[in-house]
Structures are given as C-alpha cells and as structure tokens.
Structure 1
Amino acid sequence: MSRTYSVVRNDEEQYSVWEAGREVPAGWTGTGFTGERADCLAHIDEIWADMRPRSLREAMASDAPDA
C-alpha cells in the first residue's frame, strides 16, 4: 500500500511534502497537489525554479542597481 502525500508551501515560498490526511504544520499551506511521494517531489522540481527564500529574493532585487 503506497502512501499519499501533499505538496505544501510556506510564506517564504519554499516547498515540502507532507503526508496527506495529517494536519499541515503551522506556517505551511497546502498547494492542492497530492500523489505518491515521488510524484510530489517531481511536481516541486517542476514549479520551484528559484530555491532562495522569498525575502532574500526581494532583498536582492531591491539592492540591484537600476538597469
């Protein structure tokens, strides 16, 4: 019997997998994608282009010189 997992995301736009049916931890939100663990990891690999936390991306963008 295989387990089902959910893809979750935090406020920093970082992703993880969480066992479906369990309460999502504080600070994380379900994305709506569920499946076997390998499918969830493949989905994350497809959608998570920039692994830097959102706050770091924003800070670096505000420090960049105007082009």
Structure 2
Amino acid sequence: MLHPFDDPDRVYQVLVNEKQQHSLWPRDVRVPAGWSPVFGPDTREACVGYVEAHWTEMRPASVRAAR
C-alpha cells in the first residue's frame, strides 16, 4: 500500500502558505489551516510540474525579504 502522498493514481492539488512555500496535497485530504490551493485538482505529475515551475526559490518569503 502506498502512502497517500506518493500514490501516482490519486488526484492532487498544490497548496501554498503565507511564506510562499508549496506542498503537494491529495485532493481528498482536508487542506490544513494556513494553506490555500493554487493549482489542481490534477494528476500527481501535473502538480509536481507546477511546483517545479513556480517554487524556484526554496527560502521562505520572510527570509528573502530580509536580504
């Protein structure tokens, strides 16, 4: 049995928090407080592609702003 976050056959969405960090999230799992959907629902592959294209700076927004 695959972990729900690793199952390639599930439907996913991409979430973002206030620090502009991204998370791949199964569509049927409740979105945690402080996170908002920004892409999906779609395949795991499409969601991973979105994250790779849009989350190019891994440092939290607060750290980037402090520079």
TM range, normalised to the smaller chain? 0.7 to 0.9
Q: How far apart are the structure 2 equivalents of 1:14 and 1:33?
A: 16
In structure 2, list runs of 5 or more residues that go unmatched. 1-7
Aligned residues: 60
TM-score (norm 1): 0.79
Could you say what the CA RMSD is over the residues aligned between the two structures, in angstroms?
1.6
Partners of 2:39 and 2:50 within 8 A in 1: no
Q: Which residue matches 1:2?
A: 9
Query: Going by fraction, where is helix more abundant, 1 or 2?
Result: 1
Gaps of 5+ in 1: 61-67
The TM-score with structure 2 as length reference comes to: 0.79
- 4+ runs of 1 displaced by more than 2 Å? none
From the CA coordinates, give the structure whose radius of gyration is larger.
1
| Counterpart Cα distance in 2 of 1:15 and 1:34 | 15
Identity %: 35
Aligned to 2:42: 35
